[in-house]
Structure 1
Amino acid sequence: MSTIPLDYQTLRILWWALLGILLIGFAVMGGRDLGVGTLLPFVAKTDEERRVLINLVGPTWEGNQVWLILGGGAIFAAWPQLYAVSFSGFYIAMIAILLALIIRPVGFKFRGKVSDPRWRATWDTALFIGGFLPALIFGVAVGNVFLGAPFQLDVTQRITYSGNFFGLLTPFALLCGLVSLSMIVTQGAAVIAGRTDGEIAERARKYGRWSALATIVLFVIGGLLVLYVLEGYRLIGPPRTIAPSNPLGKEVVREVGAWGGNYGAMPWTMALPILALFGSIVAWWALGARARLVALLGSSLAIFGIIATAGLSLFPFLLPSSIDPQSSLTVWDASSSQLTLFVMLCAAIVFLPIIILYTSWVFRVMRGPVTTASLNKNPNAY
């Protein structure tokens, strides 16, 4: 008899939920930095204004990456086959994201080392790329999860991936990328409008309102395509929720509207897409009304709703296979062992609250407006 106090099914669901929480945490916290970087060339017109935006996120961006690291670590340890397929099949896309994230801290550190305008303009471009590219590609990746990845498993569960980078850039995947980009830009605009003043804040409000509207329109279009145009995936028969992980042996069918099955079975889940739209509307209104905190809360709520909607639509699939649906990876057959999930859960219970506490403390210390005057008083400013 097992001495583990939680059954395998419960642990699998908990880690599916925790993975979603980590991804949402990165989108909300890291989205602040990515959004500000994307808006840098549009909101800041002078060198002093660009310094304001850089110092807005410069002191906190490193801590926000913890959510991304935890998300990647959770995939590696809790869902090893998902890690193997996604991090190898989407290799070039992952490298592009990694390079974009690498040049961002270099831009923070190197930009102010030389006063030459061309030098600073070069690093401003790098900071823009470091915000724009990850925000877009993360959404493209989610779009490809809905479409399914071109991989299959043989009888020994060895993975064969037959896709390429350009095959990821389908119209629907790019639409999902634009949803991701627009929600991140709204988050960045809310941060800028909330902690700066003058022309910078006004420009941020203008771009933020446009991006909030774009999020609403693109999210609705994407939802309609998922429900009425795209072929989704559906399990046939009861899932093996407590059996050892083995993606082979199940029956999966593809049919239009399959991704909407969870909403039909559990009508309360419709609250998630409604929450996404409501959050975007609140952010749009609050930016116009100069309600700073409400704008940030609305934008964060929209991010939560959008990512949670995607996750619930896909459940129990983690990554479907477009060329061999029976090889698709699900929550029930692609996880680590019961003991591994339990030990990881114990670690998460200890360390996740610590991360939340120190993140809250850092933002409390760094609170307050960032202006040209405040930068001139700070010798450590970028």
Structure 2
Amino acid sequence: MILSQLIDYETLRLIWWVLLGVLLIGFAAMDGFDLGVGTLLPFVAKTDVERRVVINTIGPVWEGNQVWLILGGGAIFAAWPPLYAVSFSGFYLAMFIILFALILRPVGFKYRSKKQSPQWRSGWDWALFIGGFVPALIFGVAVGNVLQGVPFRFSDHLQIFYEGNLFGLLNPFALLCGLLSVAMLTMHGAAWLVLKTTGDIAKRAKSFGSVAALLTIVFYVLAGIWMWYGIAGYRITSEIVTDGPSNPLFKTAVLEHGAWFTNFSNYPILLIAPVLGILGALSVLVAMRAGREVMPLLMGKLSIFGIISSVGVAMFPFILPSSLDPNASLTVWDSSSSQMTLFNMLVATAIFLPLILFYTSWVYKVLWGKVDKNMIEDDNSHAY
């Protein structure tokens, strides 16, 4: 018996669906506060020294945090090839905008202090704002479009046809999800600044973070109500084959109002996901007002976990519905790589993911502590 048959195909597909969620949540929880800090930079810091303090709270860690984005993209490419093909082709312009915004971050970090000119530095500060705000917004917009269904279809030979455009992605519900994403990551960035800074910066971060936490709850509840009354979900109507070949056209599916809430009705335990999303954000608000430092960051991560996982469990087994042809929708059971590929990737993940977690933990342990004005004003060649 070959090693890849030690775990059956159905279980491997489930494992990789969970791992995809772990990687996406890991990106939002780790790189998310970097994006949030960038979004807050022009507002929480009033002087050049204060802005250098804010930048140096994330300067040593942002590159390592982006590993989660690379891992997520790599996992989609290797474990879910049709998902990668449709999403990265259909969302090409949106992905390009995200890439451009993310490129501004390292350039901003490196170039900002090259000149003493206030105009020069202010320009790069706003570039860092764009590098935080734009990806946060577009990632949320993408999730909003996925929940509504993406305009793609397959030919009989599984050739992909995408019939959408960039402006079609900017529909009202998707924009609401984008605002939710911005509020959630801004809340997380503010929690990081409360932990890592002192004085006026920490006070402003607490104020902005409290507002962002409240907006996270409001936008999340509004999105749930909108989904209940105005967004049709998807349901498989044919026999579900969990260990068959990866061909999306082997099934039939329909649009149905309330379908995204079916899993919560059938398995009430899953309601813990949206509850954690709301309670986590509420706890951030309470902890910030109470003057706590570590708790807002932990509760922010809990809220991120709840909000993102609630989307995943609501859609299961769908991972990318088609608004043009529901039968072409991609699910966990019909869009994965082969059993051997999933098994080999699982072995590699079991080896390397713990290493990533270990060195990430070690880095944060070494860099633990606050960044203040004295550190920046000293002749420190390692500070941005």
TM-score, with length taken from structure 1: 0.99
Question: In structure 2, what is the equivalent of residue 154 of structure 1?
Answer: 155
Superposition pairs of residues 334-345 of structure 1, within 5 angstroms: 334-345=335-346
* 3-state secondary structure, aligned to 2:334: coil
Q: Is the 8 A contact 2:319 2:330 kept in 1?
A: yes
Aligned residue for 2:202, secondary structure, equals: helix
* Corresponding position of 1:187: 188
Equivalent in the alignment of 2:228:
227
Cα distance in 2 for partners of 1:122, 1:278 equals 38
- In the alignment, which residue of structure 1 is the partner of 2:375? 374
Correspondence list, 1:6-85, <5 A: 6-85=7-86
**Structure-2 residue corresponding to 1:272:** 273
**CA deviation digits over 1:205-261, x for unaligned, max 9?**
000000000000110111111123211101113311000100002110101111001
Alignment of 1:279-358 (within 5 A): 279-358=280-359
1:236 is matched by which residue type in structure 2?
Answer: T
- Inter-partner Cα distance in structure 2 for 1:125 and 1:228: 38
In structure 2, the partner of 1:112 is 113
Q: How does 1:111-150 map to 2 (within 5 A)?
A: 111-150=112-151
- 1:154-176 deviation line (CA, Å, top 9, x unaligned): 11000000100000000000001
Structure-2 separation of matches of 1:95 and 1:163:
16
Distance 2:329 2:222 in 1: 26
Give the partner amino acid of 2:212.
Answer: S
- Do the aligned partners of 2:238 and 2:253 also contact (CA within 8 Å) in 1? no
CA drift at 1:116: 0.5
C-alpha distance in structure 1 between counterparts of 2:208 and 2:137, whole Å: 17
* SS of equivalent residue, structure 1 residue 244: coil
2:87 aligns to what? Answer: 86
Q: Return the offset for 1:376.
A: 2.8
Q: Give the TM-score normalised by the residue count of structure 2.
A: 0.98
Q: Is the Cα–Cα contact under 8 Å of residues 41 and 125 in structure 2 kept in the other structure?
A: yes
2: CA distance, partners of 1:23 / 1:60:
18
CA shift for structure 1 position 61: 0.3
State the distance in 2 between where 1:376 and 1:124 align. 19
Residue 195 of structure 1: how far off its partner (Å): 1.1
User: Residue 379 of structure 1 aligns to which amino acid in structure 2?
Assistant: S
Mapped to 2, the partners of 1:96 and 1:55 lie a distance apart of 25
In 2: Cα distance, 1:242 partner to 1:250 partner: 13
CA distance in 2, matches of 1:161, 1:13: 27
Q: Is the 8 A contact 2:49 2:376 kept in 1?
A: no
- Structure 1, unmatched stretches of 5+, are none
Give the aligned partner of residue 178 of structure 1: 179
Question: 1:247 matched to which residue of 2?
Answer: 248
Q: Are the equivalent residues in 1 in contact too, given 2:49–2:377 (CA < 8 A)? A: no
Q: Aligned AA for 2:330?
A: L
Displacement, 1:290? 1.2
| 1:182 maps to amino acid | A
Q: Which runs of 4+ in 1 moved over 6 A?
A: none
User: Which moved further from structure 2: 223-232 or 56-65?
Assistant: 223-232
Distance 1:98 1:156 in 2: 32
Question: Distance between the aligned counterparts of 1:313 and 1:225, measured in 2?
Answer: 14
Provide the secondary structure at the position in 2 that maps to 1:225: helix
Cα distance in 1 for partners of 2:225, 2:270 equals 16
Contact kept in structure 2, 1:229 and 1:257, CA below 8 Å: no
Structure-2 separation of matches of 1:358 and 1:286: 29
Structure 2 contact 239–251 (Cα < 8 Å) conserved: no
| Per-residue deviation, 1:153 | 0.3
Aligned length: 382
CA contact (8 A) 1:23 1:71 kept: yes
Identity within the alignment, %: 58
> Aligned partners of 1:21, 1:238: CA distance in 2, in Å?
29
